[in-house]
Structure 1
């Protein structure tokens, strides 16, 4: 065959393959308000994954927190930003820290604070709608969004995107389960928010769990009502409810791992996809200075980090003193404490302690892979917990808010560590917990078993995400995935009408038989 003919055939084949790629590519929007760095990072993983799978993917970040104005997260997908959305988020987040100083948020606090937390941001965001016209004009095929911000489903609805996928950044949220008709039995399914219970509960823990479950439903219902009233006032009087919008999603991606999380009933619409990019960045190493920190310690090193929202300096003094006491009483271990670059108070606080170093940022996966790391003291965020379980490192968790209480209790339930509650912390609390996990070999063996199972599951999270997204792009799934419970009233769903009917029949039978026996006795 002549060279020019071969070149022409090669060109045609390349064009054919390229054309096939273009046909299969979809326009996908990942909608991600800048609530926290970890939240943006999670969204970025999905955006990059779908971009690398051949889709035209855009990560859209409405700026809620000015602290994250320069953080895009995504390495490959396109990033669109909407700057200066609101000042309310940073202001109210500071108030939230004050509310939560001594314990998790109670029902009254949630009713008076949490139910109104998002409405100001939502009003500010809705006022920016003209600046989001380019999203509507781009004509996306599918959007992925998170349910944390109750305004998000309503805003996304205005983009007129045919397919929607819900991303649950935690375990299956109570309100999502409620809206999608999932059976949730509080007897063994712990409520996700502000709830330090696992699936094996005592009588009083079950009572508390029922209370927490309905508290969550009520608070989110009030949030949704506030948002709905705003949109019916500003957009359309017949704007659908948030529950109806969520009910019509094509798929729910659940950011947890079924090996770690507690078993519960769920429908085909839910796909567990925790630990995206598991095993990735294996070539990333610690900078030499940080690596030297973790190499210190005769018996090993301990990493202490309570997340980006809770730097060490923001902890109450009694908790700082309890951690200091543990560090001083464990001189054979070297502690690396994460804080911020401008945190002079923590530097002064630890100035006389020999076995501690402070860092403002570290590549966490590289830390968790470090051969000398023996323990991670954490706030219990889902991403941190999953990464730590994956790399087989025991944990001590002090939860701060939302699902972190449940995550901490689940770590205990799996035998992978201990949890301490802030309101119970005294001088010896952290020493007792850290010393116990470091010295008892059962914790290390349990977490290594979990790590082995997570690493050897039949399908990776990346495979699940890409294949399921391609599937819902191609097919309409509602007829096959939607539970009929979505169409049932509360009375029908809980058989209240049946119980009422049986009670009436029983009562009538009692009355009839009583009259019969009364007549017989009289005769």
Structure 2
């Protein structure tokens, strides 16, 4: 780990005499995919001429990835094991989606690590002394928002590393019509919802907001304890973000309302596929009909998949003898090698240049976990997918691939050799999946204004003009009743009810008068 003082002195020495803005990218090591995304952000900013520091608090000490090739890296280790223990305790096949208690446990782990981080303010003060002009943080961990405010950086840009997360929309004031916009986290719904589906979607949304309030309350308490009792709630800091860069694409994601401050930058840093080196160049030449890639990301290790399911997966691959399979396994998976000994069309690897393989002309399909980085790469490369979502936004992402016509989703509770065989047979035999993938790829690659162009121009604009309060929506200052016009609706209903009651009483009185007159005449 590079000491903070050494890192920052080095930066200052390199950039003396330049007009570059000083940029901090806060990137906790929650997962490699998040570090990769934040690393791409840092590299794009360096190429744009800025002085960039990528600050990586080590939530997961096993993750040594830096993500960036160009930015100065500052890591902070020794933050405890709360996050790692929480992730190790996950029972990924125990239920369809995570329960509210599991999600609350995740928030507890994040708050514990945040507390360990803020207990080392003297190290953070070295970052504070550097005087950053703008800072980036992502939406998974709200501790970053508090750290940025503690460092004295008021010009902040938020990153949604997934489609616009419900909590991001909640804090920025982005409208979320639950009748057709499915909740992002732990939700297996598409855009077409029945009455029961809509009720389920509302319940999922309420759970997300309840968990969010719980987690942000605990995180805010950390800063009130370590900094000042008057330290603002991290939700307030989030709402004051100048912009929110969304790691998604308008042509891939489900269409929904957005704000002026939400800028789509999906595909940022994903360049053209590079030529493959050995052994991958040779592996891609195997299989008379092509190659199929399988990777379930870094958070779900293959060693955690029950042995019976793994056996079924490899037996399913054996049924597709015309295709060769490249399967990424983790270093602790010692059993899969013995399972594929007699299956000649399967090769196991512990690492792969995923984006470059997805761009190879002989690749026919991608079996993945539904992580949005992988889904974006597949969409940009025009590759059909079979998605097996495990948690968080992956369920929504898998449904998005189905909705856009280039993927099939298999729920983890249904994941076995038979379901995989059925899905693969559909993907490789029905040309509609490839045609849809190619169309999505063309739309993303040829649309006006590339992701890098949007990202750099908007970042420079924020640096030049400071916090963009002009983009804040007035709805953030309204309470629930006023925001939804419940008071207006209530008054209207009262007026209607009184009008109906008045007409009823008048009619009743008139009828009585008429009948009384008739009786007198008779």
- State the TM-score, normalizing by the size of structure 2: 0.92
1:136 to 118, 124, 128: 128
Matches within 5 A, 1:173-322: 173-280=165-272, 282=273, 284-322=274-312
- Change in Cα spacing, 1:21 to 1:231, as seen in structure 2 (3 Å) is closer
Per mean C-alpha deviation after superposition, the further-off stretch among 411-420 and 477-486 is 477-486
Alignment partner, residue 364 of structure 2: 374
Alignment partner, residue 102 of structure 2: 109
CA distance in 2, matches of 1:75, 1:253: 21
Alignment partner, residue 31 of structure 1: 26
2:144 to 133, 140, 152: 152
Alignment partner, residue 47 of structure 1: 42
Per mean C-alpha deviation after superposition, the further-off stretch among 78-87 and 416-425 is 78-87
Once the two structures are TM-superposed, the CA of residue 51 in structure 1 deviates from its matched residue by 1.0
Answer yes or no: is the 8 Å Cα contact 1:21–1:54 preserved in 2: no
Once the two structures are TM-superposed, the CA of residue 216 in structure 1 deviates from its matched residue by 1.0
Alignment partner, residue 124 of structure 1: 116
Once the two structures are TM-superposed, the CA of residue 104 in structure 1 deviates from its matched residue by 1.8
CA distance in 1, matches of 2:22, 2:69: 18
CA distance in 2, matches of 1:150, 1:92: 18
Matches within 5 A, 1:430-469: 430-469=420-459
Once the two structures are TM-superposed, the CA of residue 319 in structure 1 deviates from its matched residue by 2.8
- Change in Cα spacing, 1:232 to 1:162, as seen in structure 2 (3 Å) is closer
Q: Secondary structure at the match of 1:261?
A: coil
CA distance in 1, matches of 2:271, 2:411: 31
Once the two structures are TM-superposed, the CA of residue 311 in structure 1 deviates from its matched residue by 2.3
Deviations 1:240-264 (A, max 9, x none): 1122111101010000111111111
Answer yes or no: is the 8 Å Cα contact 2:310–2:336 preserved in 1: no
Answer yes or no: is the 8 Å Cα contact 1:114–1:219 preserved in 2: no
Compute the RMSD of aligned alpha carbons. Answer: 1.8
Q: Secondary structure at the match of 2:447?
A: coil
Once the two structures are TM-superposed, the CA of residue 477 in structure 1 deviates from its matched residue by 5.4
Answer yes or no: is the 8 Å Cα contact 1:325–1:431 preserved in 2: no
Answer yes or no: is the 8 Å Cα contact 1:86–1:125 preserved in 2: no
Alignment partner, residue 58 of structure 1: 53
Q: Secondary structure at the match of 1:287?
A: coil
2:486 to 489, 496, 508: 496
Once the two structures are TM-superposed, the CA of residue 278 in structure 1 deviates from its matched residue by 3.1
Count residues in correspondence.
499
Deviations 1:431-478 (A, max 9, x none): 000111011111011101111111101111111111000101111453
Once the two structures are TM-superposed, the CA of residue 131 in structure 1 deviates from its matched residue by 1.3
Q: Secondary structure at the match of 1:415?
A: coil
Per mean C-alpha deviation after superposition, the further-off stretch among 505-514 and 289-298 is 505-514
Answer yes or no: is the 8 Å Cα contact 1:322–1:431 preserved in 2: no
- Change in Cα spacing, 1:100 to 1:117, as seen in structure 2 (3 Å) is farther
CA distance in 2, matches of 1:176, 1:104: 21
Once the two structures are TM-superposed, the CA of residue 181 in structure 1 deviates from its matched residue by 1.1
Q: Secondary structure at the match of 1:230?
A: helix
- State the TM-score, normalizing by the size of structure 1: 0.92
Alignment partner, residue 522 of structure 1: 512
Per mean C-alpha deviation after superposition, the further-off stretch among 489-498 and 194-203 is 194-203
Q: Which 5+ residue runs of structure 1 have no aligned equivalent? A: 1-18
Answer yes or no: is the 8 Å Cα contact 1:347–1:358 preserved in 2: yes
CA distance in 2, matches of 1:203, 1:320: 37
Answer yes or no: is the 8 Å Cα contact 2:86–2:106 preserved in 1: no
Alignment partner, residue 79 of structure 1: 73
Once the two structures are TM-superposed, the CA of residue 114 in structure 1 deviates from its matched residue by 3.2
Q: Which 5+ residue runs of structure 2 have no aligned equivalent? A: 1-14, 514-522
Answer yes or no: is the 8 Å Cα contact 1:327–1:356 preserved in 2: yes
Per mean C-alpha deviation after superposition, the further-off stretch among 378-387 and 150-159 is 150-159
Alignment partner, residue 471 of structure 1: 461
Alignment partner, residue 405 of structure 2: 415
Once the two structures are TM-superposed, the CA of residue 122 in structure 1 deviates from its matched residue by 1.6
- Change in Cα spacing, 1:115 to 1:365, as seen in structure 2 (3 Å) is closer
Alignment partner, residue 8 of structure 1: none
2:64 counterpart of 1:92: no
Once the two structures are TM-superposed, the CA of residue 99 in structure 1 deviates from its matched residue by 5.5
Answer yes or no: is the 8 Å Cα contact 1:415–1:443 preserved in 2: yes
